Amino acid sequence: MKLTVRVWRQKNARREGRFAEYEVQDASPDMSFLEMLDVLNERLIRQGEEPIHFDSDCREGICGMCSCVINGEAHGPESQVTTCQTYMRSFKDGDVITVEPFRAMAFPLIKDLVVDRSALDRIIQAGGFISVTTGSAPEANSIPVSKYHSDLAMDAAACIGCGACVAACKNASANLFVAAKVAHLNLLPQGGPEKDPRVLGMVEAMTSEGFGACSVTGSCEAVCPKGIPTSFISRMNHNFLTAALKLRVHGPRG
């Protein structure tokens, strides 16, 4: 496959960026998108040019590190896959492919396609924990959990924190990410004791990090590589309002 790859190049957040065009002459349809970038980088290094910087780790769609925007779509043209799971057979011979970083105020650019997504980590730190002492592994049926709630919690826990929902949202909202992280703990009995302070803390952290508000366009669900639905946002909003009302009536628990 012969391709033209337009890649965003930017030395750091203080410098201006630009698109640079590269010709790729020997891409295989069986290559992943990141393998194609690896081949391009090997050529750039041989030519004495600086390689394209991008995040990569597991290459199995688990870690979420590979996040970038391909032809205007977070993670690329395929549904429910990450960038590293996007294969060159998704494109046609002669295509022009535009690659750029996730763009959001809360994701400051580091270099080229690499952005700082540590804001998502700080949101988790604001409430993503449980204080129940579990000790050794309990007997499976000692804490009854309905299949509906266990399945729902597992669906929410599938979130890999890639930030595609933020990149796709016109407001750069992180509501789908936060809703998934709130739900996968709050739905289970072990997460019950911190249920209210968890949702209040995580929503407050999301706001303080500079993420935008949700306007329910559904763009986040459309690009989520794990197919997490926007119904979790409704659940989070309900949990948040309930917790806020309890706090207003009863005050903080000391």
Bridge partners, 8 (sequence order) = 19
Residue for token digits 């690329």? 76
pTM of the model: 0.91
* Domains, the chain, ordered by start: 3-110 (3.10.20.30), 118-250 (1.10.1060.10)
pLDDT for position 247: 80
Give the least confident one: 155-164, 174-183, 188-197, 231-240.
188-197
pLDDT band, very low/low/confident/very high, at 125 (cuts 50, 70, 90) = very high
